[in-house]
Chains A and B, each alone.
Chain A
Amino acid sequence: MKYLIIGSCIAAAGAVEGIRSIDPEGEITVIDGEQRGCYSRPLISYYLTGRRTSSQLDYRPADFFAQQRVRIIPGRAASIDVICKQVLLQDGTGLEYDRLLLATGASPVIPPIPGITQSWVNTFYTWQDAEEISAQTAAKGTAVVLGSGLIGLKAAEALHHMGMKVVMVEKQSHILPRLLSPRSAAAVGGHLQRHGLKVVTGHEVVAVGNHEVAVDDGSSIAADLLIIAVGTRPNQDLAREAGLQTDRGIIVDCHLRTSDPHIWAAGDVIESRHIVRGTDEVMALLPLAHREGFIAGLNMAGSRTRYPGGIFLNAVHILGMHIITAGDPETTGSILRWQEGERCLELTMQGQNLHRYIAINIPGISGPLTALIERQVKIPESEWFKFLRNPAIANLPAAYWAEVRRWQDDGSLRCG
């Protein structure tokens, strides 16, 4: 059996683990476009500040692929011939496959702003981005960060640590718009400003000049560095050109198979089921990427494992503040709040179902809440009121503990 994986990151690593858990013999080939092996993108901000060395970016040990007897082909895929079951690389090499996994990931969105292609403008997505930025920050000056999502925040924090003056420009009315409620965003924004970061919300950059950024309110910011962090987009061109069904991302079934029976897809490139919403979403999240890759790997090796879907979940710490949030960011349920100083917990309920929580500086409680969202355990609001008097794990509602016992009893969470 010939397995071919396009992409070498988290989903690919998961897929290799999945395949190998069933098929120790099959021939696995990974096409490594970045030629950097399997590394963890969220760590690049640590790399930028020097807290991590290059080798410490690895998601799996350096010899991981070798250990798993995986052949690494450096290069980028140019096209897929689904009839001949062959992938053509940009250098013209053809690689045949029996089972193909598309783990092509996503790429940063470059907004169509005049002047944005200048050399002092960077995205912040790959380790190469970090190296390039690193080279440009020798002279300490001002950095403008476009977008205040996770990537934007982590970039801002890193640049701040490196001594730059940082200005964040967010088009939406509050920072981390995909993750936070306005109220919690205000708390985060206040925290950033107290640390000296400047946050501009509700405005967008309209043009990029020579070390100058023009904002839509007519002002302009002198900048030595501009980071674009307005979002990512699945790398689904290959799939689309091969005739696979795509939408905002590659469309897969519950076994993570694409519309071609010999091709699976996993990671940031796909649309997958959002458990709470019940719709398919592009959820570019590392934990999901690994899980999808693993299940896709299992299924490529012959299993029929169902991918249950995921939810949005993010843990980010920024300048000492821990923000954890999970669930449906666009939920419109009733909000229960607990706050004590800089710590706050916000639960959004739809009926008896928890749809989202935002935990700021109270990370310890988050795991069970994530589980309750994922499993959509019904808990009346009154129980949550009791819990919120002192939100600690020991005070979680009885239904949670009953659920824990059930996981252990029915093995739905396999514990060893």
Chain B
Amino acid sequence: MKIQSNSEYCLGCGLCRIYCAAAHDGYNGSVIRAFKKGTPQARAGLIEHQQQSWINTCRHCQDAPCINACITGALQKNNEGIVFIDGQRCVGCLTCVMVCPFGHIQPSLDFSRAVKCDLCRDLAEAPVCVSHCPNGALRLIEEV
């Protein structure tokens, strides 16, 4: 499973990032609460390049360099193929950040751990970026 970003229809509006940020870290999806009260962090980057834009999100690689490199075993792949970080185990060494060729994994704002897209596996039926994309540019695809 991964999120496919179709730059043909990505508007670069960044709503994916806003809803992503508000969905995680205990903000429960309230955008105003997240941004007015805290410092929410999106799990995906927005790339704008030569009039095109797309969301730089985790590919959930089969042979994921981040999992191989993780020194604590915090990075794991569940049986749905979702690569996720066990926040309890992560020590914030950022080795995963260093080896992700897509630059998807990012340090948390306080640099205490790494954060990455986990396809909202604990939150919603569909990842919030997909469900909030105003133009259907994001799709969750099941292909392996």
A–B: direct contact at CB < 8 Å: yes
Interface residues of A, Cβ cutoff 8 Å to B? 14, 40, 42-43, 46, 51-52, 56, 58-61, 286-287, 290-291, 294, 313-317, 320, 322, 324, 326, 363-368, 370-371, 374, 393-394, 396, 398, 401, 404, 407-408, 413-416
Measured CA separation A333–B102 after assembly (Å): 25
B87 CB-CB contact with A under 8 Å: no
Report 22 cross-chain contacts, Cβ distance below 8 Å, ordered by A residue. A42-B71, A43-B72, A46-B91, A286-B69, A286-B95, A287-B69, A290-B68, A315-B97, A317-B93, A322-B111, A326-B98, A363-B98, A366-B103, A367-B103, A374-B101, A393-B45, A394-B48, A401-B47, A413-B59, A414-B61, A415-B59, A415-B60
Beyond A315-B93, A322-B111, whether A394 also contacts B98 by CB under 8 A is no
> Is the CB–CB distance between A367 and B98 below 8 Å?
yes
| Residues of A contacting B49 in the complex (Cβ-Cβ under 8 angstroms) | 394, 398, 401
For the complex of A and B, list the 9 residue pairs with the smallest distance between their C-beta atoms, beginning with the closest.
A371-B101, A287-B69, A415-B59, A367-B100, A416-B62, A393-B103, A414-B62, A368-B103, A367-B103
Interface residues of B, Cβ cutoff 8 Å to A? 1-2, 45-50, 56, 59-63, 65, 68-69, 71-73, 81, 89, 91-95, 97-107, 111, 143-144
Cβ 8 A contact of A59, one of B2, B56, B73, B104? B73
> Is the CB–CB distance between A317 and B98 below 8 Å?
no
| Residues of A contacting B63 in the complex (Cβ-Cβ under 8 angstroms) | 413-414
Q: Could you tell me the distance in whole angstroms from the C-beta of A42 to the nearest C-beta in chain B?
A: 5
Beyond A367-B100, A416-B144, whether A59 also contacts B111 by CB under 8 A is no
> Is the CB–CB distance between A398 and B72 below 8 Å?
no
> Is the CB–CB distance between A317 and B92 below 8 Å?
yes
Q: Which residue of B lies closest to A57 (CB)?
A: B72
Q: Which residue of B lies closest to A364 (CB)?
A: B106
> Is the CB–CB distance between B48 and A313 below 8 Å?
no
> Is the CB–CB distance between A61 and B101 below 8 Å?
no
Say what secondary structure dominates the interface of chain A: helix
| Residues of A contacting B73 in the complex (Cβ-Cβ under 8 angstroms) | 40, 58-61
Measured CA separation A371–B47 after assembly (Å): 18
Beyond A363-B94, A363-B97, A367-B103, whether A394 also contacts B144 by CB under 8 A is no
> Is the CB–CB distance between A364 and B69 below 8 Å?
no
Cβ 8 A contact of A367, one of B59, B97, B111? B97
Instruction: Beyond A315-B94, A366-B103, list 7 extra A-B contacts (CB 8 Å).
Output: A59-B71, A287-B68, A290-B68, A322-B94, A367-B103, A367-B105, A393-B103
> Is the CB–CB distance between B95 and A398 below 8 Å?
no
> Is the CB–CB distance between A51 and B102 below 8 Å?
no
Q: Could you tell me the distance in whole angstroms from the C-beta of B118 to the nearest C-beta in chain A?
A: 15
> Is the CB–CB distance between A324 and B89 below 8 Å?
no
Q: Which residue of A lies closest to B54 (CB)?
A: A401
| Residues of A contacting B91 in the complex (Cβ-Cβ under 8 angstroms) | 43, 46, 51-52
Q: Could you tell me the distance in whole angstroms from the C-beta of A87 to the nearest C-beta in chain B?
A: 27
> Is the CB–CB distance between A287 and B81 below 8 Å?
no
Q: Could you tell me the distance in whole angstroms from the C-beta of A296 to the nearest C-beta in chain B?
A: 14
> Is the CB–CB distance between B71 and A415 below 8 Å?
no
Measured CA separation A46–B72 after assembly (Å): 11
Beyond A40-B71, A286-B69, A367-B103, whether A393 also contacts B56 by CB under 8 A is yes
Beyond A316-B93, A317-B111, whether A366 also contacts B98 by CB under 8 A is yes
Q: Which residue of B lies closest to A394 (CB)?
A: B47
Beyond A59-B73, A364-B103, whether A42 also contacts B93 by CB under 8 A is yes
Measured CA separation A316–B81 after assembly (Å): 29
Q: Could you tell me the distance in whole angstroms from the C-beta of A383 to the nearest C-beta in chain B?
A: 13
| Residues of A contacting B103 in the complex (Cβ-Cβ under 8 angstroms) | 364-368, 393, 396
Q: Which residue of A lies closest to B111 (CB)?
A: A322
